[in-house]
Amino acid sequence: MKYLTIIYFFVLFFSLGYSLRSLFKIELKRFWEDILLNMGLGLSVFPLISILFNSIGIPLRWHLFLSLALLVPALDLIKKRNFLFVKEKSYIFGGISIFLIVALVFSVHLFVFLEGSNAYPYLEDGDPWVHAEVADYISITGTYSLAKEDQKILHYTEPYPPFYAVLNGILHQIEPDLMWVLKFFNSLIISLSLFFFFLLSKAIFKNEGVALFSTFLLATIPSYLSHFIFSTGYAVALFFPALYVLLTEQENQGWKTILFCSLIISGVFLVQPIASAMFLLLAVIILIFKYLVKDNWKGYSLSLMGGLFLSQLYWIPTFIKFGFDGVAEKIGFGILEGGAGDSSGGVIYSLMDYMFSPFANKIDQATGFGWMIFILLVVGIIIVLFKYKKLLKNKQHLILAFLVYCAITFLLTESNAFPYKLTPHRIWVYLSISVAIIGAFAFSVLWRSINKKVLKYAVLFLVLFFVLYSSAYPKYVVQTAQWPPGAFWQSGEELSGYLWMKDNLAPGTAVLIACSTFEGKISGMNLEERSWESEVRAFKRDYHLKEPKEMHYFLYNHNYSYLVFDGWCARNETTVDQTNSVIQKLVKEDGLFKLTHSTNEFVLFKVI
């Protein structure tokens, strides 16, 4: 089913993107660019469609999303319009050499991320296990909604934006191996973002070569994302289609164009709160420069406001349902003052932290650019500062906008030195985007200043080599290292017991953890617990007071096949004694339970 899931992913999001462009009559450009852009547009509008389905009671099921996505392509095919049947060679083969190079960068990046994410047989750290739990919930229930009183049961669903979980949830409905779904599609979406970034860079520079170089820089910068599984990868991937349509579609000002752009932009505000804020910051900076040079700023601003307005289809009902305090608790507004959710560790970075990237780095967000890219950045900043008047005059204001964005994101990475902060180390990814743009601009100026062809390519070779050496290699080392499974595991023996279940029980087998309310340990091992059900939570609270027959009755009637006692049962002497007493009773009940597997901190019983 893995290959079918991959095919489904591409068909679904290509078709959603195609449908938007067909309905709004957005012109075609090049065959391969249209395919990639359609993927980006589809991923961008997916959160809005999920809101629509969930709000009117349509279950979040893979086949219902696919049915909607295929509706317009099917109608176009019946009408014999240009859907996959384009005869013009210039449309199909135009720019194919550049595409192949970008595809090579994408492929290498995807290979490295998949190699790293599969270097160990578990999910890393903490967040991915929580995402597994929520994806399992959505996959089973067909909704991301929770009752107000249950909001603390699951983290990455409402009031937190749940659409990364929805994406994983519908894919999990097709493929039972949830761990594979999380690892593969997280790496795929992040790698696809390089394609989307190329299209954006091309719109900025109006030059495919510079756009290609910029994409290469972004792919190699250690601080641009990691294969760590959380919603930031999806959110950042939506940056680029949103900016692309904002910058390229405003020439045809009109309500259709504004609505089209608004639909795409809305997705950025519906996936990850920090990403939403950082996108809005960049979009406003660009708007200011567009206003200064009188460059279609009205349509741009209306599209941006339209995207914000559409995103309120989720946020307004969520605030009404959970209140400000409920939303703030889930989203983590406390990080602005270094409270809960701030994982920066209070670090104030030095110049060396930007210039070099260590071989031992944060797994959720690496730091450092590499010295070659750092040099390009410094040269680019100097050139922009000296040529800012010429850039404004020639309407190359986007370079200036990214310089301002670079300066602000740099200050945000250093915000541990200030009274208020925004998870400083999480800002590195947004700083990296501007670094790639400015670095590519610097190299383009250098390239044009060299007259001799041989010298040009010699410089290109040296720059590429040193970028690979100082940036790509440290990134490869960190991304393919053995990452830890998370601090919530009590011991290696507990983890080995869960890994035994993953390897020996069929995906989707119902397993109840007696002592823990964190289902992520079960969902992350491709099993199922349903800890969000009130009866299950009630059973867990006083399992130690029940006799074996009572326990068996509950487990059997709730379709559980196995019962687990793990390291959480040994939190204190009282729970240890209670658990040992229960285990001894179950061992004696041969007709009800069968001891299947055990370690010093893991005991598994089969429910007979």
Give pLDDT tens digits for 196-205.
Answer: 999 999 999 9
- Note the pLDDT of residue 542: 87
Amino acid identity for residue 284 in this structure: V
**pLDDT value for 14:** 97
Whether 272 contacts 227, CB under 8 Å: no
Helices (H), 87-177: 89-93, 96-117, 127-141, 163-174
Assess whether pLDDT exceeds 60 at residue 83: no
Q: What is the pLDDT of residues 511-564, one digit of tens each?
A: 999 987 677 899 999 999 998 898 998 998 888 888 999 999 999 999 999 999
Listed range (40-54, 87-101, 417-431, 436-450) with the worst mean pLDDT: 87-101
Strands 602-607 and 562-566 come out as antiparallel
Least-confidence region, from 52-56, 65-69, 381-385, 529-533: 529-533
C-beta separation of 17 from 38 below 8 A: yes
Rounded to two decimals, the pTM is: 0.95
Residues 6+ apart with CB under 8 A from 598: 497, 604
Q: Read off the pLDDT of residues 96-124 as tens digits, 9 standing for 90 and up.
A: 899 999 999 999 999 999 999 999 999 99
Q: Interior CA angle at 593 toward 589 and 599, to 5°? A: 105
Cis ω before 159 (30° cut-off from 0): yes
